Amino acid sequence: MAYYNIIDYITIATTGNAIDFGDRTTSGAANQSIAACASSTRGVMGGGITVNTMDYVTIASTGDATDFGDLTAARYALTAAASPTRGVFLKGANVVHTMDYITIASTGNATDFGNDQVGPAGYQGACSNGTRATMGGGNGASNIIAYITIASTGDATDFGDLTVGRNTPAALSGSA
């Protein structure tokens, strides 16, 4: 299997194929099972097989990614969510309960956010509304949903259950 470090973009207001944006700083399998979050101006992606690397791009201009800093641990199959100012990288298949946060507008290493011992490790879907992030499903087709308040640090709290267990779900949210 080939792994690529290529970053693509689309313009949501129009239809059409993706266009090359630039490249990540990592190569090969390090680009497998990463997570990303963004503010209105900057996108940050991190993790991957055996790496703790985070890269960032300025959304309004194309070009290669730049090193942002490091996650607290190398991990893959993680997920991420964000408020307008803070990004949170959640768990991972090989790092069971760890959650890290960053300030999206500045570069630097991630800081420990807290633990999520509510749901399974890795392969979850996550979304946020700028205040709260929820994460659900995951490894072993879990039906558990947990949440955090993005502006504060602390452990995840039980939110409820999905209608059925799901492994590697996608998630999205509105602003409410």
Average pLDDT, consecutive stretches of 10 residues, N- to C-terminus, the chain (176 residues): 90 95 91 94 94 96 97 94 96 87 98 87 90 92 94 95 92 82
Are the C-beta atoms of 86 and 110 separated by less than 8 Å?
A: no
Q: What's the pLDDT score for residue 176?
A: 67
- Over the range 128-166, which residues count as b (16 or more CB within 10 Å of their CB) and which as e? bebebbbbbbbbeebebbbbbebeeeeebeebeeeeebb
Q: Given this model, what pLDDT does residue 145 score?
A: 94
- Block residue for tokens 């509105």: 174
Please report the pLDDT score of residue 136 as a whole number: 93
Kindly list the structural domains of the chain, giving each domain's residue range(s) and its CATH number in brackets, ordered by start.
Answer: 19-166 (2.120.10.80)
> Which CA distances in Å does 176 have to 117, 127, 128, 132?
26, 12, 9, 10
pLDDT score, position 16? 95
Number of CB atoms found within 10 A of residue 71's CB = 24
**The pTM is what?**
0.93
